[in-house]
Amino acid sequence: MTSSKVENTASQGTEAPEEGYERGLGSRQVQMIAIGGAIGVGLFLGAGANIAKAGPSLILMYALAGLIIFFIMRALGELLLYRPVSGSFAEYSREFLGPFFGYFTGWTYWLMWVVTGMAELTAAAIYVNYWFPAVPQWVTALVFLVILFGVNLISVKLFGELEFWFSMVKVTALIGMIVIGLGVLTFGFSQAGDTATVSNLWQFDGFFPKGIGSSLMTLQGVMFAYLAVELVGVTAGESENPEKTLPKAINTLPWRIALFYVGALTVILCVVKWTEFAAGVSPFVRAFAVIGIPAGAGIVNFVVLTAALSSCNSGMYSTGRMLRTLADNGEAPRGFSRLSASKTPALGITVSVAFMGIGVLLNYVVPEKAFGYVTSVATAAGIWTWLMILVSHVLYRRAVVAGRLPASAFPAPGGAKCSYVAIAFLLFVTCLIAYDADSRVCLYVMAVWAAALAVGWAVLKARNPQVTERREPELEKVG
C-alpha cells in the first residue's frame, strides 16, 4: 500500500461520509437510546418463563450473555470509530466480507425489526386492554402505529426525544423496583418482609434447581432480551459528536447490564422465591403483588407498554435507515435513498411501517403462539447481525496488523480474541435453538429467507453486475 493510500484511509477512519442526514442526536439522547436498547419486553415479560425454567441460575445466564454482548459492542465500537456511518454493520459486512454479506445483513436486520415491530404492536395493544377492555385490540395497535410513524417522519430530533423519555420511564421503574426490593430485604417491611431473604437464591432445590442443561436452554430467550443494544451503531450517522458519544454509550454498557438485568433479577429473586414465577406473567408484576403495592400491577403494565412502544419506535427508525443504505448500494429500489425535507428516509420508513401494519391485521387470525415464533425469528436475525459485527471486527484487526488500515481511536480490549469467544458463544446458542423443538422453527424461516435473498442477489447480479462487485467505500467529509 502506498503512503498516499494510507493517508487517505487514515482520514476515512476519522470522518464519516456525507449521508445527508441531520446530525440531530445529542449525547443525552444517544446515551438514553443505548440504555433503552438494553431494557426491553424480553426482560419485563420473558424473564418470567425463564425463571420457571432455570430458577435463580437465570441471573448467571444474564451475566454471561451480558459479557458476550459487551464484547460485541466493543467490537462494533472499534469499527464505528474507524468509520462512523449510518447502517453501520451492513456497511462493515460489505467492506470486509464482500457485497453479498452487506446485502444479506442489511435486509436481515430490516426483517428483524419489522417482525419485532409486529409483535410489539400487538403486545402494546394487549397492555392497553388491561385498562380499556372494551377497545378492540386492532384499533389500539393501529393508533400506536400511526403515532410512531408520524414521529419518525417529522425529524430525528423528535425520534430521539421520544426515545429518551421512553427509556427514562423504563430506567426509573427498574431503579424503583431495585430500591423497594432492597428496602424489603434490609428493613423487612411489606407483606413480603417475613419471607424475603438472600437465601431464597439457593434454598429451594439449589441455585440450579432444574440442572445446568435447563439453565443453558434459557440462553436463547436471554439473548432476545438483549436485542437492540446494537442500535447505537445505527445512530452513528446522526450523532452530533460520534467520536465522544459512542464510546461513552458503549463503555457504560457493563454497569447497565449489571444494574438493570443482573441487579434487578437478583433483588426480585431474593424478595420472592423463584417457584412463584411462571410463564406469561411479568416477574415484576408478580413481585409488586407479593410485596403488596396496590397499584403495582398497573404501574408495571404502563412500564411494559412503554417498553413495547420504545421497541417499535426504534424499529421504524432503524428499518428506514437500513433500506436507505441498501438503496445507496444498489441493493434496494433507488427511491429508498431519497430523504424528505426533514432529512428522514421517509419512503423506507413508510414501506417498513406498512409491513409492520400486517401485525395489526394478524390480530384477527393469528394465535398467541405465532407471535412467539415471530420473536424467535427476530432472535435468529439478531444473532446473524452480531456474528457479522464480530467477523468484520476480526478481519478489520487483521488489516490493521498488516498495515492496510489505520487503527481505531476506540480499540476493543483483547483485540480480536474476545470476538472469537463471542463468535463461539453465538454459534453455541444457535445450536441450542436447533435443539429446542419450539425454537427451531425460526431456523426454517431463516433458511427460506436466505434462499429468497440468494435469488434476489442472482437477479441483481444479472441486471447490474457492477453492484455486486467489491469496491472501496466512498467516504467524504461530513458537512
Q: Report the interhelical angle of 346-356 vs 296-328 (nearest 10°).
A: 130
**Banded pLDDT at 201 (limits 50, 70, 90):** very high
Express each pLDDT in 169-184 by its tens digit. 888 888 888 898 899 8
Structural domains counted in the chain: 1
Dihedral sign, Cα of residue 339, residue 152, residue 156, residue 251: negative
What is the rounded (10 degree) CA torsion for 208, 213, 218, 223?
110
Amino acid 377: pLDDT = 83
Amino acid 31: pLDDT = 65
Amino acid 12: pLDDT = 40
DSSP state of 260: I
Amino acid 18: pLDDT = 40
* 5: enclosing H helix or E strand: helix 3-14
Q: Which of 28-42, 66-80, 240-254, 451-465 has the lowest mean pLDDT?
A: 28-42
Q: Is 177 exposed, middle or buried (0-12, 13-18, 19+ CB in 10 A)?
A: buried
Q: Which of 209-218, 244-253, 263-272 has the lowest mean pLDDT?
A: 244-253
Q: Per the structure block, which three cell numbers stand in for 134?
A: 372494551
Of residues 224 and 366, the one with the higher pLDDT is: 224
**Banded pLDDT at 375 (limits 50, 70, 90):** confident
Identity of residue 1: M
Amino acid 5: pLDDT = 38
Cα-based distances in Å from 192 to 51, 187, 207, 299: 19, 11, 21, 19
Would 409 be classed as within a structural domain? yes
Task: Inform me whether the pLDDT recorded for 193 exceeds 90.
Answer: no
Percent of the chain with pLDDT over 70: 84
Question: CATH number of the domain that 243 lies in?
Answer: 1.20.1740.10
**Banded pLDDT at 24 (limits 50, 70, 90):** low
Would 8 be classed as within a structural domain? yes
DSSP secondary structure string for all residues of 404-416: SSPPPSSPPTTTT
448-472 mean pLDDT = 86
**Banded pLDDT at 33 (limits 50, 70, 90):** low
Q: Is 309 exposed, middle or buried (0-12, 13-18, 19+ CB in 10 A)?
A: buried
Task: Inform me whether the pLDDT recorded for 478 exceeds 80.
Answer: no
Would 389 be classed as within a structural domain? yes
Determine contact, residues 65/226, Cβ cutoff 8 Å.
yes
Would 220 be classed as within a structural domain? yes
Amino acid 191: pLDDT = 74
Top mean-pLDDT range of 132-146, 154-168, 223-237? 132-146
**Banded pLDDT at 474 (limits 50, 70, 90):** low
For residue 142, what are the domain limits? Answer: 3-16+24-431
Percent of the chain with pLDDT over 90: 32
Amino acid 3: pLDDT = 40
Amino acid 319: pLDDT = 86
State the Cα–Cα distance between residues 376 and 223, nearest whole angstrom.
10
State the Cα–Cα distance between residues 416 and 427, nearest whole angstrom.
17
Task: Inform me whether the pLDDT recorded for 4 exceeds 50.
Answer: no
Would 377 be classed as within a structural domain? yes
147-152 mean pLDDT = 87
Q: Which residues contact 350 (CB under 8 A, 6 or more apart)?
A: 149, 153
213-217 mean pLDDT = 92
State the Cα–Cα distance between residues 33 and 21, nearest whole angstrom.
18
**Banded pLDDT at 26 (limits 50, 70, 90):** low
Amino acid 2: pLDDT = 40
160-174 mean pLDDT = 82
Top mean-pLDDT range of 30-39, 201-210, 352-361? 201-210
Express each pLDDT in 415-448 by its tens digit. 899 999 999 999 999 999 999 887 888 899 899 9
Express each pLDDT in 302-351 by its tens digit. 888 888 888 888 788 888 888 888 888 888 888 888 887 777 788 999 99
Determine contact, residues 48/279, Cβ cutoff 8 Å.
yes
**Banded pLDDT at 403 (limits 50, 70, 90):** very high
DSSP secondary structure string for all residues of 215-256: HHHTHHHHHHHTTTTTHHHHGGGGBS-HHHHHHHHHHTHHHH
Q: Per the structure block, which three cell numbers stand in for 136?
A: 378492540
Would 477 be classed as within a structural domain? no
Q: Residue 25's beta-bridge partner residues?
A: 239
State the Cα–Cα distance between residues 424 and 40, nearest whole angstrom.
25
Dmax over Cα atoms in the chain, in whole Å?
73
Would 454 be classed as within a structural domain? no
Would 468 be classed as within a structural domain? no
Q: Residue 239's beta-bridge partner residues?
A: 25
